[in-house]
Amino acid sequence: MANLITISRIVCAVILFFFQDVNGAFLAIYAYCGISDLIDGPIARKTNKTSNLGALLDTVGDVATYVALAKILLSKHLVPAWAVIWYVSAAAGILSAGLVALARFHRFFVVHSLFGKVMGLFAFLMPFALYVNLLIPCFAAICASATVSAVETVFITAKAEDPEHAAISIIGLYRKKPDVSA
């Protein structure tokens, strides 16, 4: 069920590629992509149907959705140069966490951090911000949260005991672990 929801998001993201502007139909399909992204993971976990395929499909759905949006924003010259430079720098920081993981755990992965989720929320809100003429503050929020996410992700990856127990936030690294020896 969860993979079907994710596949439907990928199909909708492909449809978004055919739009030339952000309009009501675009926003409706885009909103479906966002809602389906919120529910597919919890459904997979609740039904005990998580899989590497599901995680891969989720990533494909996310990337396809945001690339479709970026196509419109870039073609309309709505992305300021400072936002591109700042975001690419922060993304490089996030990817460097994957290199830290590769060095420490001999596999490349990037922690889905708390501020990464915040960045995702602002990224999702981007076309709605465009629609109500608040795109520049939205870009600033995305870039700021991406920067914090980069620092947080590198720190978490450097401090985590193992990849399966990497915390979602820096705070999670310092929670006292329960004593199971009793």
Q: What is the mean pLDDT of the chain?
A: 85
Alpha-carbon distance 146 to 94, whole Å?
8
Which run of H or of E encompasses 20? none
Half-sphere exposure of 101 (CA within 13 A, CB side): 21
Give the model confidence (pLDDT) of 20-45 as tens digits: 999 999 999 999 999 998 888 889 88
Against a cut of 0.95, is the pTM above it?
no
Q: Is the pLDDT of residue 175 over 60?
A: no
Q: What is the pLDDT of residue 165?
A: 62
- Cβ-count burial 23-51 (b if 16+ within 10 Å, e if not): eeebeebbebbbebbeebbebbeeeeeee
Q: How confident is the model at residue 113 (pLDDT cuts 50, 70, 90)?
A: confident
Share of the chain above pLDDT 90, in %: 37
Quickly tell me which residue has 């501020």 as its tokens: 115
More confident residue, 113 or 76: 76
Q: What is the pLDDT of residue 178?
A: 47
List of residues 6+ apart from 106 with CB closer than 8 A:
none
Q: For the chain, what are the domain ranges? A: 1-76, 79-175
Alpha-carbon distance 6 to 36, whole Å?
7
List of residues 6+ apart from 5 with CB closer than 8 A:
36, 39, 40, 43
Alpha-carbon distance 145 to 71, whole Å?
22
